Amino acid sequence: MSEPVSASGTVIRRQIKLPFTKAVEISLKSIRIRFWRSMITAAGILLGIAFFASVRMSAVFSHAQQTRVDEKRATLARGGKLSAEDVILINSAAANAKEEAAAGTRLQWLSIMALLVCTVGITNSMLMSVTERFKEIGTMKCLGALDSFIVKLFFIESCFLGFIASVLGFVVGWLVISLIRLAMDGVEVFGPYFWMQSLRLCGQSAAIGTVLTFLATIFPAYRAAKMPPVAALRAEV
Amino acid sequence: MANEYVVRTKDLVKEYTMGDQTLKALNGVSLDIYRGEYISIMGPSGSGKSTLFNAVGGLDKPSSGSVFINDVDMAQLDAQELAYLRCHTIGYIFQTFNLIPVMTALENVTLPTVFAGMSTDEGVERGIELLELVGLGGRLHHKPSELSGGQQQRVAIARSLANNPSIILADEPTGNLDLNTGKEIIDLLKSLNKDQGVTIISATHDLKMLDVSDRIVWIRDGQIAKVEERKDLDIRIGEMEGQEALH
């Protein structure tokens, strides 16, 4: 319970806090109530990461294919026999190698650009979310919330969205490329190398997505935290 | 120990610069507010009423002059201490209720107790007690959107009391309510003032407020035009014609 401020002193105890579990609870509620807006923000991250994942998965497949070709060549060198199919594989691989390498680099660049664009998009939508919540933030500050509480709420919210959206984005990108490759090359490329790389890429995507969302939220969260409590009194907005 | 004044302002000046002109929204306001008083700040729009209100509530910094809350100079406080003051010593009630839309009535009332570091169980207990006090014991788990304006304002009043503040600042608490609901809210505030001894400072246009106020401060052009005691006041608020028929 509150204790009255000592009549004599300028000393006021500082004991304002927001437990982490409570902050998480409030953040998740904020996401739920603005579900569609949150989903649109998430969709931006999801698409960016899906593109990134698909580009990286293509590289994984190319590598797996290359390994396969190398094995066949080795067999040939040892004087082994190859089927007609394998010969076609080796020939086409030799013809495509250069082109694929060039295209791969271009795609890498494109995926980085896509991630940058999606970061800017998140910043934009988080800023809008701040404007939308002017009064709510002002009210919280009137109730005694510190700047850091507001920052905390925004970061938890965006990191949660960022993480979920990145994982989903990875699944989308991964699924699309894997299905295409399955149709083109058959099951042979889905070796242990493929699964290992998929797992690694999943972690990578989640990390990149979450970190980018976090970076994109710094400025909006700062703006929200600096909002004067007087904002709560404004009738409009 | 309870000192006599809960709020004191001294030569409060607030200037706004608009282009090359300086506008004085407050021009030397000195006001002492007694502990346990129900005080209304009245004045037309643009009179500086809101500015005074914001300064007293620590929501806005004056250009010069000082505000003392419980003898503590607000200008001396840092952000943390101000937050602490807002959390523990002042309860705010707004014209537009300002409940957090994502939370239920109970969660709204409990939020200040969370900031104050109260445990969840204690906070919930306190929240239920307060909501019962304002007559909403049956609506603990309703969202603000499921409550009427009057009910929302009751939740806001319960919330403002969460940490046992010594002052409640009400900014046009009846401004968005119809006549009868407004009257109910005023009665509720008055009863809290009487029973809990909380000081109520309210900025208002609402003449219904005069009836329950201990003192009325009239603000005009950034200065105190006059301070009236209720007993000196001879205004008949009277019921509006046809009022009885509504009951």
The total of other beta-carbon atoms located within 10 Å of residue B132's CB is: 13
Number of helices (H) and strands (E) in chain B: give both, helices first: 7, 10
CB contact under 8 A, A2 and B164: yes
Mark out chain A residues that contact chain B at CB-CB < 8 A. Answer: 1-5, 7-10, 12-19, 22, 26, 29-30, 32-33, 135-136, 138-147, 149, 228-230, 232-233, 235
Residue B67, pLDDT score: 93
CB contact under 8 A, A141 and B83: yes
List of chain A residues whose C-beta atoms are within 8 Å of the C-beta of residue B54: 230, 233
Residue A9, pLDDT score: 43
Residue B110, pLDDT score: 94
Q: Which range (A63-72, A207-216, B220-229) has the least confidence?
A: A63-72
pLDDT in tens, B187-201: 999 999 999 899 999
CB contact under 8 A, A1 and B164: yes
CB contact under 8 A, B96 and A135: yes
Calculate the CA dihedral of residues B102, B103, B109, B114 and round it to 10 degrees. Answer: -90
Q: What 8-state DSSP symbol labels residue B239? A: P
Q: Which range (A9-18, B37-46, B105-114) has the least confidence?
A: A9-18
Does position B145 have pLDDT exceeding 80, yes or no? yes
CB distance B47 to B222 below 8 Å: yes
Which of the four pLDDT bands, split at 50, 70 and 90, describes residue A2? very low
Longest C-alpha distance within chain A, in Å?
Answer: 98
B224 CA: distance to closest CA in chain A (Å)? 22
Q: Mean of the pLDDT values across residues A187-197?
A: 82
Does position B204 have pLDDT exceeding 80, yes or no? yes
Please report which residue ranges of B16-144 form alpha helices under DSSP H.
49-56, 79-88, 105-115, 120-133
Which of the four pLDDT bands, split at 50, 70 and 90, describes residue A185? confident
- ∠ CA B130-A22-B170, rounded to 5°: 40
Please give the structure tokens belonging to residue B1. 């120990």
Residue B233, pLDDT score: 67
CB contact under 8 A, B71 and A139: no
| Helix, strand, coil percentages in chain B from 3-state DSSP, rounded to 5 | 40, 30, 35
Q: Which range (A166-170, B14-18, B190-194) has the least confidence?
A: B14-18
pLDDT in tens, A36-53: 888 888 999 999 999 999
> What is the rounded distance in angstroms from the CA atom of residue B11 to the CA atom of residue B31?
9
CB distance B167 to B199 below 8 Å: yes
Q: Mean of the pLDDT values across residues A131-139?
A: 86
Does position B246 have pLDDT exceeding 60, yes or no? no
Q: Which range (A36-40, A150-154, B10-14) has the least confidence?
A: A36-40
Residue A1, pLDDT score: 39
Please give the structure tokens belonging to residue B11. 């030569």
Residue B236, pLDDT score: 54
CB contact under 8 A, A143 and B96: no
Percent of chain A with pLDDT over 90: 32
List of chain B residues whose C-beta atoms are within 8 Å of the C-beta of residue A139: 92, 94, 98-100
Q: Mean of the pLDDT values across residues A194-222?
A: 93
Does position B243 have pLDDT exceeding 70, yes or no? no
CB distance A210 to A115 below 8 Å: no
Output the average pLDDT for chain B. Answer: 88
Residue B111, pLDDT score: 93
pLDDT in tens, B59-103: 888 899 999 998 889 988 888 888 899 999 999 999 889 999 889
A159 CA: distance to closest CA in chain B (Å)? 19
Q: Give the number of C-alpha atoms closer than 13 A to the C-alpha of residue A143, restricted to the C-beta side.
A: 32
* 3-class DSSP string for B160-194: HCCCCCCEEEEECCCCCCCHHHHHHHHHHHHHHHH
Whether B125 contacts chain A with CB within 8 A: no
Q: Mean of the pLDDT values across residues A153-162?
A: 92
Q: Mean of the pLDDT values across residues B216-245?
A: 72
Q: What string of DSSP letters covers A45-111? A: HHHHHHHHHHHHHHHHHHHHHHHHHHHHHHHHHTT----HHHHHHHHHHHHHHHHHHHHHHHHHHHH
Q: Mean of the pLDDT values across residues B16-24?
A: 86
Which residues pair with residue B168 across a beta bridge? Answer: B91, B200
CB distance B155 to B124 below 8 Å: no
Q: Mean of the pLDDT values across residues B129-146?
A: 93
Smallest CA–CA distance from B166 into chain A, residue: A4
Residue A159, pLDDT score: 93
Residue A13, pLDDT score: 55
Q: Mean of the pLDDT values across residues A16-31?
A: 85
Residue B237, pLDDT score: 53
List of chain A residues whose C-beta atoms are within 8 Å of the C-beta of residue B84: 12-16, 144
Q: What string of DSSP letters covers B58-80? A: TSS--SEEEEEETTEEGGG--HH
Residue A40, pLDDT score: 87
Does position B186 have pLDDT exceeding 50, yes or no? yes
Does position B130 have pLDDT exceeding 90, yes or no? yes
Q: Mean of the pLDDT values across residues A131-151?
A: 88
Domain ranges of chain A: 20-54+111-187+194-233
> What is the rounded distance in angstroms from the CA atom of residue B193 to the CA atom of residue B215?
13
Please give the structure tokens belonging to residue B34. 């007694």
CB contact under 8 A, A143 and B69: no
Q: Mean of the pLDDT values across residues B30-38?
A: 93
Residue A5, pLDDT score: 46
Does position A126 have pLDDT exceeding 60, yes or no? yes
